[in-house]
A and B are shown apart, each in its own frame.
Chain A
Amino acid sequence: AQRVTQPEKLLSVFKGAPVELKCNYSYSGSPELFWYVQYSRQRLQLLLRHISRESIKGFTADLNKGETSFHLKKPFAQEEDSAMYYCALSGTGANNLFFGTGTRLTVIP
Chain B
Amino acid sequence: DVKVTQSSRYLVKRTGEKVFLECVQDMDHENMFWYRQDPGLGLRLIYFSYDVKMKEKGDIPEGYSVSREKKERFSLILESASTNQTSMYLCASSSRTGGAYDEQFFGPGTRLTVL
B-contacting residues of A (Cβ < 8 Å)? Answer: 6, 9, 32, 36, 43-46, 49, 51, 86, 90-102
Smallest CB gap from A33: residue in B: B100
Return chain A residues, CB-CB under 8 Å to B105: 45
| Inter-subunit contact A96/B48 (CB<8 Å) | yes
**A-side interface mostly:** loop
Contact of B101 among A32, A96, A99 (CB under 8 A): A32
CA distance A44 to B108 in the complex (A): 8
| Inter-subunit contact B43/A99 (CB<8 Å) | yes
Smallest CB gap from B92: residue in A: A44
Smallest CB gap from A52: residue in B: B101
CA distance A107 to B90 in the complex (A): 26
| Inter-subunit contact A102/B42 (CB<8 Å) | yes
CA distance A102 to B102 in the complex (A): 20
Return chain A residues, CB-CB under 8 Å to B109: 43
Residues of B94-109 at the interface with A, using a CB-CB cut-off of 8 Å, are: 94, 96, 99-109
B33 in the interface, Cβ–Cβ < 8 Å?
yes
| Inter-subunit contact A92/B43 (CB<8 Å) | no
CB proximity of B107 to chain A, nearest CB, Å: 7
CB proximity of B39 to chain A, nearest CB, Å: 9
CA distance A97 to B40 in the complex (A): 18
Contact of A101 among B40, B48, B100 (CB under 8 A): B40
CA distance A36 to B35 in the complex (A): 14
Contact of A45 among B35, B102, B106 (CB under 8 A): B106
Return chain A residues, CB-CB under 8 Å to B56: 96
CA distance A43 to B5 in the complex (A): 11
Return chain B residues, CB-CB under 8 Å to A6: 42
CB proximity of B23 to chain A, nearest CB, Å: 13
